[in-house]
Structure 1
Protein backbone atom coordinates (compact mmCIF):
# COMPACT_ATOMS: atom_id res chain seq x y z
CA UNK A 1 0.00 0.00 0.00
CA UNK A 2 1.26 3.46 -0.94
CA UNK A 3 -0.05 6.24 1.31
CA UNK A 4 -0.65 9.68 -0.21
CA UNK A 5 -1.49 12.37 2.31
CA UNK A 6 -2.58 15.79 1.06
CA UNK A 7 -2.47 18.46 3.74
CA UNK A 8 -4.25 21.75 3.17
CA UNK A 9 -7.23 23.73 4.38
CA UNK A 10 -10.67 24.71 3.12
CA UNK A 11 -10.95 27.63 0.69
CA UNK A 12 -7.31 27.33 -0.35
CA UNK A 13 -6.95 27.69 -4.12
CA UNK A 14 -3.57 25.96 -4.31
CA UNK A 15 -4.94 23.12 -2.17
CA UNK A 16 -7.80 22.62 -4.63
CA UNK A 17 -5.34 22.61 -7.54
CA UNK A 18 -3.13 20.08 -5.75
CA UNK A 19 -6.13 17.84 -5.10
CA UNK A 20 -7.07 18.04 -8.79
CA UNK A 21 -3.49 17.11 -9.77
CA UNK A 22 -3.55 14.09 -7.45
CA UNK A 23 -6.93 13.00 -8.83
CA UNK A 24 -5.76 13.38 -12.45
CA UNK A 25 -2.55 11.44 -11.86
CA UNK A 26 -4.42 8.63 -10.12
CA UNK A 27 -6.98 8.46 -12.92
CA UNK A 28 -4.17 7.83 -15.41
CA UNK A 29 -2.44 5.09 -13.39
CA UNK A 30 -2.76 1.42 -14.26
CA UNK A 31 -5.53 -0.19 -12.20
CA UNK A 32 -3.13 -2.35 -10.18
CA UNK A 33 -1.16 0.68 -9.04
CA UNK A 34 -4.20 2.89 -8.42
CA UNK A 35 -5.82 0.17 -6.29
CA UNK A 36 -2.69 0.05 -4.13
CA UNK A 37 -3.02 3.73 -3.12
CA UNK A 38 -4.50 5.00 0.11
CA UNK A 39 -5.36 8.69 -0.17
CA UNK A 40 -5.98 10.86 2.87
CA UNK A 41 -6.78 14.57 2.91
CA UNK A 42 -6.10 16.45 6.13
CA UNK A 43 -6.76 20.05 7.12
CA UNK A 44 -4.30 22.09 9.14
CA UNK A 45 -7.35 23.66 10.80
CA UNK A 46 -8.24 20.32 12.41
CA UNK A 47 -4.83 19.51 13.85
CA UNK A 48 -2.67 22.00 15.76
CA UNK A 49 0.50 19.96 15.11
CA UNK A 50 -0.12 19.98 11.35
CA UNK A 51 -0.87 23.70 11.51
CA UNK A 52 2.36 24.41 13.35
CA UNK A 53 4.44 22.31 10.96
CA UNK A 54 2.86 23.16 7.59
CA UNK A 55 0.79 26.39 7.77
CA UNK A 56 3.29 28.23 5.57
CA UNK A 57 3.69 25.44 3.03
CA UNK A 58 0.21 24.19 2.17
CA UNK A 59 -0.69 22.34 0.15
CA UNK A 60 1.72 19.64 1.26
CA UNK A 61 1.85 16.16 -0.22
CA UNK A 62 3.38 13.27 1.69
CA UNK A 63 4.08 9.88 0.17
CA UNK A 64 4.39 7.18 2.81
CA UNK A 65 4.76 9.95 5.43
CA UNK A 66 7.72 11.51 3.60
CA UNK A 67 7.52 15.01 2.14
CA UNK A 68 7.01 14.81 -1.61
CA UNK A 69 6.26 18.46 -2.28
CA UNK A 70 4.50 21.62 -1.23
CA UNK A 71 2.85 24.70 -2.78
CA UNK A 72 2.68 23.32 -6.33
CA UNK A 73 2.49 19.61 -7.08
CA UNK A 74 3.96 18.53 -10.41
CA UNK A 75 1.91 15.79 -12.11
CA UNK A 76 4.99 14.33 -13.80
CA UNK A 77 7.02 14.25 -10.60
CA UNK A 78 4.10 12.69 -8.69
CA UNK A 79 3.59 10.07 -11.41
CA UNK A 80 7.29 9.17 -11.26
CA UNK A 81 7.28 8.97 -7.45
CA UNK A 82 4.26 6.67 -7.42
CA UNK A 83 5.80 4.47 -10.11
CA UNK A 84 9.02 4.22 -8.11
CA UNK A 85 7.13 3.29 -4.94
CA UNK A 86 5.09 0.70 -6.85
CA UNK A 87 8.30 -0.80 -8.27
CA UNK A 88 9.79 -0.95 -4.75
CA UNK A 89 6.70 -2.75 -3.53
CA UNK A 90 6.79 -5.21 -6.41
CA UNK A 91 10.44 -5.98 -5.70
CA UNK A 92 9.79 -6.93 -2.08
Structure 2
Protein backbone atom coordinates (compact mmCIF):
# COMPACT_ATOMS: atom_id res chain seq x y z
CA UNK A 1 0.00 0.00 0.00
CA UNK A 2 1.45 3.33 -0.99
CA UNK A 3 1.73 5.81 1.85
CA UNK A 4 2.71 8.95 -0.02
CA UNK A 5 0.84 11.95 1.31
CA UNK A 6 -0.30 10.19 4.46
CA UNK A 7 0.53 11.12 7.98
CA UNK A 8 2.83 8.59 9.55
CA UNK A 9 2.53 7.14 13.03
CA UNK A 10 4.66 9.28 15.30
CA UNK A 11 3.51 8.01 18.66
CA UNK A 12 3.08 11.65 19.72
CA UNK A 13 -0.50 11.29 20.96
CA UNK A 14 -3.69 12.97 19.86
CA UNK A 15 -4.07 14.88 16.61
CA UNK A 16 -5.72 18.26 16.10
CA UNK A 17 -8.95 18.59 18.04
CA UNK A 18 -7.76 16.16 20.69
CA UNK A 19 -8.75 13.11 18.66
CA UNK A 20 -6.43 10.51 17.19
CA UNK A 21 -7.55 8.52 14.15
CA UNK A 22 -5.29 5.77 12.83
CA UNK A 23 -5.73 3.32 9.99
CA UNK A 24 -3.91 0.03 10.49
CA UNK A 25 -2.82 -1.36 7.13
CA UNK A 26 -0.55 -3.86 5.42
CA UNK A 27 1.35 -3.63 2.14
CA UNK A 28 -0.76 -5.26 -0.57
CA UNK A 29 -3.99 -5.01 1.41
CA UNK A 30 -6.77 -4.79 -1.17
CA UNK A 31 -9.16 -2.71 0.92
CA UNK A 32 -6.65 -0.47 2.66
CA UNK A 33 -6.35 2.15 -0.08
CA UNK A 34 -10.13 2.54 -0.37
CA UNK A 35 -10.46 2.70 3.42
CA UNK A 36 -7.76 5.39 3.56
CA UNK A 37 -9.57 7.53 1.00
CA UNK A 38 -12.84 7.38 2.96
CA UNK A 39 -11.13 7.87 6.32
CA UNK A 40 -9.12 10.82 5.09
CA UNK A 41 -12.25 12.57 3.78
CA UNK A 42 -14.16 12.10 7.04
CA UNK A 43 -11.22 13.25 9.16
CA UNK A 44 -10.71 16.36 7.04
CA UNK A 45 -14.33 17.35 7.76
CA UNK A 46 -13.30 17.57 11.43
CA UNK A 47 -9.86 19.11 10.89
CA UNK A 48 -8.09 15.92 11.93
CA UNK A 49 -5.01 14.52 10.21
CA UNK A 50 -5.40 10.75 10.25
CA UNK A 51 -2.35 8.52 10.39
CA UNK A 52 -1.64 5.17 8.74
CA UNK A 53 0.43 2.42 10.33
CA UNK A 54 1.61 -0.66 8.45
CA UNK A 55 1.34 -3.38 11.10
CA UNK A 56 4.13 -5.43 9.52
CA UNK A 57 6.56 -2.51 9.26
CA UNK A 58 5.78 -1.50 12.86
CA UNK A 59 6.06 -5.05 14.24
CA UNK A 60 9.56 -4.61 15.66
CA UNK A 61 8.46 -1.82 18.01
CA UNK A 62 4.72 -2.52 18.27
CA UNK A 63 4.18 -6.28 17.79
CA UNK A 64 0.82 -6.13 19.55
CA UNK A 65 -0.72 -4.35 16.55
CA UNK A 66 -0.03 -7.22 14.16
CA UNK A 67 -0.94 -9.83 16.77
CA UNK A 68 -4.30 -8.26 17.60
CA UNK A 69 -5.42 -6.72 14.32
CA UNK A 70 -3.35 -8.34 11.55
CA UNK A 71 -6.03 -10.77 10.40
CA UNK A 72 -8.78 -8.19 9.80
CA UNK A 73 -7.15 -5.21 8.12
CA UNK A 74 -7.84 -2.41 7.48
CA UNK A 75 -8.73 -1.40 11.03
CA UNK A 76 -9.71 2.11 12.13
CA UNK A 77 -8.56 3.10 15.61
CA UNK A 78 -10.19 6.08 17.28
CA UNK A 79 -8.20 7.38 20.22
CA UNK A 80 -6.29 4.10 20.32
CA UNK A 81 -9.36 1.85 20.40
CA UNK A 82 -10.81 -0.25 17.62
CA UNK A 83 -13.60 1.62 15.88
CA UNK A 84 -14.23 -0.45 12.75
CA UNK A 85 -12.55 -2.99 10.53
CA UNK A 86 -12.58 -4.09 6.89
CA UNK A 87 -14.22 -0.78 5.99
CA UNK A 88 -14.73 2.66 7.49
CA UNK A 89 -18.04 3.02 9.31
CA UNK A 90 -18.41 6.62 8.15
CA UNK A 91 -21.73 7.39 9.82
CA UNK A 92 -20.56 6.11 13.20
CA UNK A 93 -17.16 7.79 12.87
CA UNK A 94 -18.74 11.15 12.11
CA UNK A 95 -21.05 10.78 15.11
CA UNK A 96 -18.17 9.82 17.39
CA UNK A 97 -15.95 12.64 16.15
CA UNK A 98 -18.76 15.16 16.68
CA UNK A 99 -18.94 14.34 20.41
Sort the TM-score into its range (normalised by shorter chain). Answer: 0.7 to 0.9
- Determine whether 1:59 maps to 2:59: no
Structure that is richer in strand per residue:
1
- Equivalences, count: 78
Matches of 1:38 and 1:66, distance apart in 2: 17
CA distance in 2, matches of 1:62, 1:23: 13
Which structure carries more helix by proportion? 1
> Which ranges of structure 2 fall in alignment gaps of 5 or more residues?
1-17
Matches within 5 A, 1:1-92: 1-27=18-44, 29=45, 33-34=46-47, 37-48=48-59, 49=63, 50-84=65-99
Higher relative contact order (CA 8 A, sep 6+): 1
Q: Please, which runs of 5 or more residues in structure 1 have no aligned partner? A: 85-92
Where 2:37 maps in the other structure, the secondary structure is helix
Q: Which has the larger radius of gyration?
A: 1
TM-score normalised by length of structure 2: 0.70
Per-residue Cα deviation, 1:27-76 (whole angstroms, up to 9, x for no partner): 4x2xxx31xx2422100111231211111111111111111111111221
